[in-house]
Structure 1
Amino acid sequence: MTTSKDTGTHGAVLQDTPPEGDRPLVELRGAGKAYGNVRALHGVDLTVRPAGVTCVLGDNGAGKSTLIKIISGLHQHTEGEFLVDGAPVRFASPRDALDKGIATVYQDLATVPLMPVWRNFFLGSEMTKGPWPVRRLDIARMKATADEELRNMGIVLDDLEQPIGTLSGGQRQCVAIARAVYFGARVLILDEPTAALGVKQSGVVLKYIAAARERGLGVIFITHNPHHAYMVGDHFSVLRLGTLELSAERADITLEELTNHMAGGAELAALKHELAQVGGVDTAELPDEGALPAAAAAPRPSADGGD
């Protein structure tokens, strides 16, 4: 990674060889993570391609957080392979992941609510000017750059001086996405970006996820919501108890089937006969196990999963 000598670490230009054609940016092959005797993730295959949105869905304890930590460099995998641009890697820290162009936008967004939007955009990577050791912040250039980059993502703010805490949840998510794109992200991991948002603000975030895809980024969209995933997703992976229950392209699965996987349809079908014994419960409309897609009706793994 190279940086301009008078701008700190902003605007880093990655020197890695660009992906050829549709070669995956990030790929997991049989990856897993064990914490002592607890296996949080096991045998997971995942592929992230340029200009594509890979949606990772799963309930609490499915292993989504563990998956994020492996890809973002916070934890190392203990089984399988982790490849970036086709080469095996083992990140020692999140900085290693950032150097490879893998950026993570967490739910807390890593912003300072009382600071202006432009300061949050460059937080930790401020532009400076003047000779050493009396360099000072280049405020005018940071404001102009932040405004330009936000507009490139379709985000128009009237006042970049307003505290970022005064923006809506959707707007803050979009600022965080634009920041990651500006600082050289090729793979963008979004950790439940719509979890705490209403319908309208969720729509705003989904629009910018699509915009990131249009700019050629590979996006990993972590979510509980199959409806949000289906709106923007190109590939869907459903985790359950630390293993990969479903891996399907958009053309191969319907929203109803995806929702059924997320809702634990196979378990509900298996329990239909037990629910029939409870008075006042109408089981006529519940699915039969044989009516479910083959992957949904498969036996459940017994591994202990992480969040």
Structure 2
Amino acid sequence: MRSEGAILAARNVSKRFGGLYAVCDVSLDVRPGEVVCLLGDNGAGKSTLIKMLTGVTTPTSGELVVDGKPTVFSSPREARDAGIAAVQQFGGTVPLMSVSRNFFLGAELTRGWGPFKRMDLDQAGRIAVQHLAEMGLTRLTDANRLVGSLSGGERQALAIARAMYFGARVLILDEPTAALGVKEATTVLRLVKRTAERGIGVVLVTHNATHAIHVGDRFVVLIHGAVAADFRRGERSRNELINLMAGGEELEHLEAALL
């Protein structure tokens, strides 16, 4: 796989736990404005791969490349500093905190000094509402609203807007539509497109082929921790994609390659 022009690339990465491979010889690259759908059934290795991409764990072999340079992330903070951000289901938000406090959680805007130093809630609120509006959530105007009162799609939008504000260049979305209804899932898929249109590279981790087909530019299918298929939009049908994710016609060839 060629990684020229990619913000983030994995080159032949593997992760072994004891004698078992969770991920085996996987290559993947993410370019600006591109949506890469990472697909596979439960246990396919998706979670382990994104943990390597975001610094949660390091590869047993292979390497990560950021802006063309081999890179080792020793922590998620190092990955975030390089512009690689992950958003989990519901965005890792705190339900009993306000929109503004969630937006700046861990990086609070402050005013004053010494014993008079406090969070600048007014400025934080203005910034949060502005960036949410840019993501299409124009009806969310009260930054003091508790995040627990937001819909699943709105919480995802908050997490995405927050990541982009803090400099994300690659956004990894881990099953963002898994617990959502049809309307909310549509909202999130629209957010994915909007994010890519702003030049952010997106990795959409999902087991929902229909959602992937709607937004994906490239599709990487994992089976038993290895790449079963890597193709661009239009090169495979939805039924072929579902067949691959279920094991399908390439499973026999994959298993033979791993022996």
TM superposition score normalised by structure 1 = 0.79
How do 1:161-240 residues align onto structure 2 when only pairs under 5 Å count?
Answer: 161-240=144-223
* SS of equivalent to 1:211: helix
Displacement of 1:258 in angstroms is 1.0
* SS of equivalent to 2:255: coil
Distance in 2 between the 1:73 and 1:108 partners? 21
Displacement of 1:299 in angstroms is 4.2
Distance in 2 between the 1:192 and 1:110 partners? 13
Displacement of 1:92 in angstroms is 0.5
**Structure whose residues are more often helix by fraction:** 2
Task: Give the residue type in structure 2 aligned to 1:65.
Answer: S
Cα-to-partner distance string for 1:48-81 (whole Å, 9 max, x where unaligned):
0000000000011100010010000000011112
Distance in 2 between the 1:44 and 1:150 partners? 35
My pick for the range that moved more, 235-244 or 28-37, is: 28-37
2:13 to 31, 35, 43: 31
Do the aligned residues in 2 keep the contact of 1:107 with 1:191 (CA within 8 Å)? yes
Distance in 1 between the 2:231 and 2:198 partners? 24
- Please state if 1:77 is matched with 2:59: yes
- Please state if 1:120 is matched with 2:120: no
Do the aligned residues in 1 keep the contact of 2:218 with 2:230 (CA within 8 Å)? yes
1:300 to 251, 255, 259: 255
Cα-to-partner distance string for 1:28-53 (whole Å, 9 max, x where unaligned):
11111112222111110101000000
Task: Give the residue type in structure 1 aligned to 2:14.
Answer: G
Displacement of 1:297 in angstroms is 5.9
Q: Which residue of 1 aligns with 2:87?
A: 105
Q: Which residue of 2 aligns with 1:244?
A: 227
* SS of equivalent to 2:107: coil
Change (3 A) 1:58 1:301: farther
Q: CA RMSD in A?
A: 1.5
Cα-to-partner distance string for 1:242-264 (whole Å, 9 max, x where unaligned):
10101001132222211211133
Distance in 2 between the 1:302 and 1:113 partners? 46
How do 1:35-54 residues align onto structure 2 when only pairs under 5 Å count?
Answer: 35-54=17-36
Do the aligned residues in 2 keep the contact of 1:243 with 1:301 (CA within 8 Å)? no
Task: Give the residue type in structure 2 aligned to 1:300.
Answer: E
Q: Which runs of 5+ in 1 are unaligned?
A: 1-21, 267-294
Displacement of 1:114 in angstroms is 1.1
* SS of equivalent to 1:265: coil
* SS of equivalent to 1:88: strand
Q: Which runs of 4+ in 1 moved over 2 A?
A: 131-134, 263-266, 295-303
* SS of equivalent to 2:183: helix
Task: Give the residue type in structure 2 aligned to 1:220.
Answer: V
Do the aligned residues in 2 keep the contact of 1:241 with 1:302 (CA within 8 Å)? no
Distance in 2 between the 1:142 and 1:159 partners? 12
My pick for the range that moved more, 156-165 or 218-227, is: 156-165
* SS of equivalent to 1:69: helix
1:140 to 92, 117, 122: 122
* SS of equivalent to 2:58: coil
Cα-to-partner distance string for 1:121-149 (whole Å, 9 max, x where unaligned):
11111100113353111111001100111
Change (3 A) 1:105 1:299: closer
Q: Which residue of 2 aligns with 1:276?
A: none
My pick for the range that moved more, 154-163 or 63-72, is: 154-163
Q: Which residue of 2 aligns with 1:264?
A: 247
My pick for the range that moved more, 35-44 or 234-243, is: 35-44
Cα-to-partner distance string for 1:172-220 (whole Å, 9 max, x where unaligned):
1111111111110000000000000011100000000000000100000
User: For the pair shown, which has the larger CA radius of gyration, 1 or 2?
Assistant: 1
Do the aligned residues in 2 keep the contact of 1:241 with 1:301 (CA within 8 Å)? no
Q: Which runs of 5+ in 2 are unaligned?
A: none
Paired residues in the alignment total 254
